[in-house]
């Protein structure tokens, strides 16, 4: 049986993910295995990737429109405000002359320090930043609105319109509920304004910043020390490129026999029946967007289509509507050796990341309840599940990720969990499933 199955197995093992290309975007889709056990229930993971390659010689950074929204509340006095000034000055210096920049600072009141203008037209930027003095509370909601107003002065469908928020604490003036900020970020997204957040120190509300960044199609980053702000801002600005597609919708529709459909990861999704749908206001040149969703299947016969992946979008250059579709079919086999050898390395790495991510989220929930033992148990369970997934693959990347989690476990078992751990876990949860340590953030 094993010998007879080898030619079929080989065709799956070395086949590239299914790909469809039309216009600016291409779509890749694959399952975590080509062959599943026929006689048991299976968890099936589907990874879909949106690729937007930049043409050779094409300008990929045209038309960036960036607004920095900076916390200058009283808690920023001393080293934090100095680090913030230096980080923003360095970030602006890294932008192109034709990029549009604005700077909004907020304490109890909101002030536009640098009105929106081309970077090469800004006079005495460092002098303007030096005038930012810490005082008062935190009118965070009004500051985001004022930053968006600056972006709107130069907003265009062919430009990247991006808010970058840096704060070290919670909102204390004006709206302060998470739902208020989520709705605001969703409103910005409908205007093609993206929003990323950077939390500094230990007092900011990581749940709020992570949720807002997720709704705003941006990233949440954590800088434990003021000296890390420059690195965080550079990491945020470096990949920002020009939009090539708008109104992008990606759906993963599982088969009729599927149950427990569950998207996972940073990108928010809506589940309707057996379909998980993701929406992106824009996709940029050179961007590689990946999403992961899973479902459960009971025992199956020899062959089945487990998912249909669809991608729809509008071309920025022409306004033309485009679509790409992939169907994912797999086999079911009782031979465990064949099943073990059919694993897809890339998708399995993403699945392990999802397991670790979910374990971290459970640990955060238990930490909020003050239950240290259950928080540790959630991390241990995630480690054990990741090890099990890696049994068939023995992948070095996955093994290294598990080792990072094990090292972190050993550390918190020795010293306990605190609110700083919560921020470290939250940052790891929403940054490609990396699990940073306190020492790494303090470098």
> How does DSSP assign 146-212, residue by residue?
HHHHHHHTS--TTSEEEEEEEESS---SS---HHHHHHHHHHHHHTTEEEEEEEESSSS-HHHHHHH
Task: Report residue 388 as tokens.
Answer: 């099990």
Of 176, 207, 237, which residue sits at a domain end? 237
Judged against a pLDDT cut of 90, whether residue 296 lies above it is answered with yes
- With tokens 């080293």, the residue in question is 79
Residues 304-336: tens digit of each pLDDT: 899 999 999 999 888 899 999 999 999 998 888
Count of domains for the chain: 3
- With tokens 């670790």, the residue in question is 356
Task: Report residue 138 as tokens.
Answer: 């935190």
Of 294, 311, 333, which residue sits at a domain end? 333
Closest CA to 249 of 273, 266, 267: 267
Q: How many CB atoms lie within 10 A of CB 54?
A: 17
The answer to whether residues 71 and 194 belong to one domain is yes
The answer to whether residues 192 and 283 belong to one domain is no
Among 189-193, 346-350, 421-425, the minimum mean pLDDT is found in 421-425
Residue 341, in any domain of the structure: no
Judged against a pLDDT cut of 90, whether residue 62 lies above it is answered with no
Distance set, CA 435 to CA 47, 204, 357 (Å) = 21, 19, 9
Closest CA to 311 of 323, 328, 319: 323
Q: How many CB atoms lie within 10 A of CB 388?
A: 11
Judged against a pLDDT cut of 70, whether residue 17 lies above it is answered with no
User: Cβ(129)–Cβ(103) under 8 Å?
Assistant: yes
Res 427: pLDDT? 63
Q: What is the mean predicted confidence (pLDDT) over 113-135?
A: 92
This prediction's pTM: 0.74
Of 178, 213, 237, which residue sits at a domain end? 237
Residues 202-242: tens digit of each pLDDT: 888 888 998 899 889 888 888 888 999 999 999 888 777 77
Res 198: pLDDT? 94
User: Cβ(44)–Cβ(339) under 8 Å?
Assistant: no
Print the domain residue range for 313. Answer: 16-52+243-333
The answer to whether residues 281 and 165 belong to one domain is no
Q: How many CB atoms lie within 10 A of CB 238?
A: 10
User: Cβ(434)–Cβ(352) under 8 Å?
Assistant: no
C-alpha to C-alpha distance for 335 and 323, rounded to whole angstroms: 38
**H/E run at residue 223:** strand 220-223
The answer to whether residues 320 and 380 belong to one domain is no
The answer to whether residues 94 and 168 belong to one domain is yes
3-state secondary structure of 431: coil
Q: Are strands 321-333 and 303-315 parallel, antiparallel or unpaired?
A: antiparallel
The answer to whether residues 230 and 358 belong to one domain is no
Residue 340, in any domain of the structure: no
Phi (first) and psi of residue 133, to 5 degrees: -115, 135
Residue 38, in any domain of the structure: yes
The answer to whether residues 357 and 223 belong to one domain is no
> Which residues on neighbouring strands pair with residue 163, listed in sequence order?
67, 195
> Which residues on neighbouring strands pair with residue 84, listed in sequence order?
none
Residue 6, in any domain of the structure: no
């Amino acid at each position: 049986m094993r010998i007879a199955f080898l030619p079929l197995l080989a065709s799956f093992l070395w086949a590239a993910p299914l790909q469809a290309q039309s216009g600016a975007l291409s779509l890749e889709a694959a399952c975590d295995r080509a062959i599943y056990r026929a006689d048991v229930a299976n968890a099936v993971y589907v990874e879909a990737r949106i690729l937007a390659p930049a043409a050779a010689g094409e300008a990929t950074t045209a038309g960036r429109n960036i607004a920095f929204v900076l916390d200058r509340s009283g808690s920023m006095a001393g080293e934090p405000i100095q680090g913030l000034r230096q980080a923003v000055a360095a970030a602006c210096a890294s932008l192109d002359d034709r990029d549009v920049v604005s700077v909004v600072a907020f304490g109890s009141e909101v002030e536009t320090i640098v009105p929106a203008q081309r970077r090469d037209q800004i006079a005495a930027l460092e002098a303007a930043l030096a005038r930012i003095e810490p005082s008062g509370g935190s009118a965070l909601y009004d500051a985001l609105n004022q930053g968006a107003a600056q972006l709107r002065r130069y907003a265009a469908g062919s430009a990247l319109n991006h808010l970058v928020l840096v704060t070290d604490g919670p909102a204390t003036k004006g709206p302060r509920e998470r739902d208020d900020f989520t709705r605001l970020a969703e409103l910005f997204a409908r205007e093609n304004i993206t929003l990323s957040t950077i939390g500094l120190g230990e007092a900011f509300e990581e749940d709020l910043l992570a949720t807002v960044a997720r709704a705003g199609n941006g990233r949440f980053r954590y800088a434990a020390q003021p000296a890390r702000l420059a690195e965080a801002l550079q990491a945020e600005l470096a990949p920002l490129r020009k939009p090539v597609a708008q109104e992008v919708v990606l759906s993963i529709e599982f088969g009729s026999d599927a149950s427990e459909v569950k998207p996972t990861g940073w990108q928010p999704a809506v589940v309707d029946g057996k379909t998980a749908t993701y929406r992106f206001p824009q996709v940029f040149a050179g961007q590689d967007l990946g999403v992961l969703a899973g479902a459960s299947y009971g025992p199956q016969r020899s062959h089945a289509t487990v998912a249909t992946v669809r991608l729809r979008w509008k071309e920025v250059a022409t306004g033309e509507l485009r679509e790409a579709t992939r169907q994912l079919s797999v086999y079911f086999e009782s031979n465990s050796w064949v099943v073990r050898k059919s694993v897809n390395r890339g998708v399995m790495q993403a699945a392990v990341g999802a397991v670790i991510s979910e374990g971290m989220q459970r640990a955060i929930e238990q930490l909020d309840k003050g239950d240290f033992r259950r928080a540790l148990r959630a991390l241990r369970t995630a480690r054990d599940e990741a090890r099990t997934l890696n049994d068939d693959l023995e992948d070095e990347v996955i093994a290294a990720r598990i080792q990072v989690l094990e090292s972190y476990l050993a550390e918190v078992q020795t010293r306990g969990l605190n609110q700083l751990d919560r921020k470290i876990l939250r940052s790891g949860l929403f940054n490609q499933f990396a699990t940073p340590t306190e020492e790494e953030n303090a470098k």
